[in-house]
Every structure is written in C-alpha cells, then in structure tokens.
Structure 1
Amino acid sequence: MASQARKGSISLPDRPSNSDSWITNISRSSVVSYTKKAASESSQIFGKLLKSTGKAAWITGTTFLVIVVPLIIEMDREQQLNDLELQQASILGTPPK
C-alpha cells in the first residue's frame, strides 16, 4: 500500500494505524511518565527554593547595609580619633593614657 510518488521522489510505505512505533511505546511507559512527573515537581521545588533564597539574600544584604556598615564606619572614625589623640599627646610630651 504505497502512496503515489511524484516523479523522481521516493515513497515510503504507509504504516498501519493500529501499530505504534517503539518510540511511542517508550514514551507512554509508566517509567517515562513517572520521570516526567518527578522532573516537573523537582523544577517547581527548585524554583520556590531559588525564590526564597533570593528573598533571604535581599534581607541579609539590606540589613548589612543599614546596620553593619554604619557601625564599621563609626568604629573606624573612633580609631582615627584615638590615633590622633595619641599622636598629639606624644608631640606635646604628655604621657599617654
């Protein structure tokens, strides 16, 4: 039952409609459907994890900028002031504290 071929072309035989190819049989197997379901659920979980990790990183970063950076700046300023006082005391000849 070959299809009518045009001049110069090759025709393939028609497949019977009730027989499935081996790829179709494999793609319909329970192992493949289970694997697809597991992959889908894994990707959803990974997406949620990535989103929550991003939120945690945002909270950590902004907290660091608001609280820790000014503290570091103030500690540096205090250290510079102590160094300046120590330098002035050594120049004036008074004993350091």
Structure 2
Amino acid sequence: MSVPNYTRFLSDCFLQDRERQPALCEDDIYGVYVSWCLLNGQQPGPATSLWAAMDQRGYTKQHRDTGRHEWPGLSLKGPAAVDYILTSQPSLL
C-alpha cells in the first residue's frame, strides 16, 4: 500500500460551500479518509497528518466546547463517503 495523496482525497470526498453546509466533525472526516484509503489501496496515515494537510490546503477548523474540532462548510461526496455512511449507519441498509 502506498502513502495517501491528501490532495486527491480532499478533492474526491468533499465539497466546500461555507454559506450552505453545516460543519463536519473530525470523526466523520477521518472515517471517510479511512474508507477512501481502503477503496484506493492506500495505507491510512495518522490523523495529525491529515489535519496538517487540510490546514495547508486552506480548510479552516473550529474548536468546539467539547475539545473536538469541526470544519464548517464541508459536505461529503463520492464512493468513500457512501462507504463510510453505510458502514457507520447500518440502520440505513
């Protein structure tokens, strides 16, 4: 398995629309990332590397009262998003 291409992952899996989309939490983003890696034959890297790649590409995070982070204005797209949603929400099947 190869090292993940974060730019391709972000392009394949997210749409940015700060005006219309609610925020996605770090658990959802990392879950989609793991699904994307598995579907693309890549080894997932640590969450800290993903957050750094998102910061470098201009994805702005906000700190929540719970100590977690969220990224406003992101929505999911693509096969990895579908895989993650169906895996994390089996009641949808």
Relative contact order higher in (CA < 8 Å, ≥ 6 apart): 2
Same fold (TM over 0.5): no
**TM bracket (short chain):** under 0.3
Q: Which has the higher helix share?
A: 1
Q: Which has the higher strand share?
A: 2
Q: State the TM-score, normalizing by the size of structure 1.
A: 0.18
Q: State the TM-score, normalizing by the size of structure 2.
A: 0.19
